[in-house]
Amino acid sequence: MSDEEHQFESKADAGASKTYPQQAGTIRKNGYIVIKNRACKVVEVSTSKTGKHGHAKCHFVAIDIFNGKKLEDIVPSSHNCDVPHVNRTDYQLIDISEDGFVSLLTENGNTKDDLKLPTDDALLTQIKDGFAEGKDLVVTVMSAMGEEQICALKDIGPK
């Protein structure tokens, strides 16, 4: 037990790692996986066998969490897959600038100004409209493997 804790601790220190290995058989639907070096969310897992008395393989259908593209992969289920470290952070939305960048308030009081608004019109209007109505918006920013994107917003409103 204590060994594992130690191991766990050391990994926590190495926190910067972008991906972690995990056995393919343990990755479930709704989990994350790296396919073709993209961070994806698994939407379908099925297993098959290589020949009747061979070993099981997992067939993953997954969706790129940033660009929404569908990707597929087949991995022997006892092998390891890369699982991305997906981080989500909440920021308060302070401003939307003309050139398509947002200004966000971090927990420690600084601002974060390097995040671009999504280019998709529907998403853009969702965010812009909410902001224009003067609501207090909190945006959730998802980051994985060096990419960042707004993935949710929430009206915290006047309490």
Partner 1 sequence: MYLFLSVSSVSWFLGLLLQNWSFSQNGGLYWPYFKGFVLDSNIFFFVTIELLPFGSIVIAIEMNGGYVNGELGQLRATMQTIEIACSSIQINVNPTAAEATILSLCQSARPYQACQFIIENSQMANARFQAATAIRVAAIREWSFLSPDEKKSLISFCLSYVMKHASSPEGYVLSKISSVAAQLMKRGWLELTAAEKDGIFSEINMAIAGNHGLDVQFIGINFLESLVSEFSPSTSTAMSLPREFHEQCRKSLEHDYLKNFYCWALGAAQSVTTEITNSDGAVSEARVCSTALRFMLQVLNWDFSNSGKVAKNSIDVYSFVAKEDSNSTYTLVQPGPSWRDILITSGHTGWLLGLYSVLREKFSSKGYWIDCPLAVSARKLIVQLCSLTGTIFPSDAGASQGKHLLQLISGIILWIHPPDVIAKAIECGRSESELLDGCRGLLSIAAITNPVTFDNLLKQIRPFGTLSLLSGLMCEVVKDLMTKDLEDEPWSWVARDILLDTWTTLLTDASGFSEKLLLPPEGINAAANLFALIVESELKAASVSEEKEEYFQPSVAAMDERLSSYALIARAAVDVTIPFLTQLFSERFARLHQGSGINDPTATMEELYSLLLITGHVLADEGEGETPLIPTAIETHFPKYVETDKHPVVVLSWSIIKFAEQSLDPNIRAAFFSPRLMEAIIWFLARWSSTYLMTSGEMQSYKNSIDDVTLLQMQQSRVALLSFSAEHTQGKTLLGIIVKISLTTLISYPGETDLQALTCYQLLGGVVRRKNICQHLVTLEAWRELAHCFTNDRVLFSLNATHQRSLAQTLVLSASGIKNSVEANQYIRDLTNHMTAYINDISSKKDIKNVSQQPDVILAVTCLLERLRGASSASEPRTQKALYEMGFSVMQSVLKFLEVYKNEPAVVYLLLKLVVDWVDGQIIYLEPHETAVVIDFCMHLLQLYSSHNIGKISVSLSSSLLNEANAEKYRDLRALLQLLQKLCTKDMVDVSSAASEDQQTSISQVIFVGVHIVSPLITTEMLKYPKLCYDHFALLSHMLEVYPEMIPKLNHEAFGHISGTLVYGLHQQDEEIVGMCLRSLRALAIYHYKERGVGRDGLGPHATSYKDNDGNFQDGILSKFLRSLLQLILFEDYSTDLVGAAADALFPLILCDHDLYQRLCNELVERQPNPIFKTRMASALHSLTTSDDLSPSADRANMRKFRKNLNRFLIDVRGFLRVI
Q: Which residues bind to partner 1, rule: CB under 8 A?
A: 1, 4-5, 8, 11-12, 15, 17, 19-20, 22-26, 28, 30-32, 41, 43, 47-49, 51-56, 58, 63-70, 76-79, 83-88, 118, 120, 123, 126-127, 140, 142, 150-157
- The torsion of the CA quartet 41, 126, 94, 90, rounded to 10 degrees, works out to -20
Strands 137-144 and 87-96: antiparallel
Report the distance separating Cα 46 and Cα 58, nearest Å: 6
Q: How many CA atoms lie within 13 A of 147 on its CB side?
A: 14
What is the rounded end-to-end Cα distance, in angstroms, of the chain?
Answer: 45
Q: Which is nearer to partner 1, 30 or 110 (CB)?
A: 30
Q: Which is nearer to partner 1, 36 or 88 (CB)?
A: 88
Q: Which is nearer to partner 1, 68 or 146 (CB)?
A: 68
Min dist. Cβ of residue 47 to partner 1 (A)? 6
Tokens of 42: 């698994």
Min dist. Cβ of residue 149 to partner 1 (A)? 9
Min dist. Cβ of residue 111 to partner 1 (A)? 20
* C-alpha gyration radius of the chain: 20
Min dist. Cβ of residue 56 to partner 1 (A)? 5
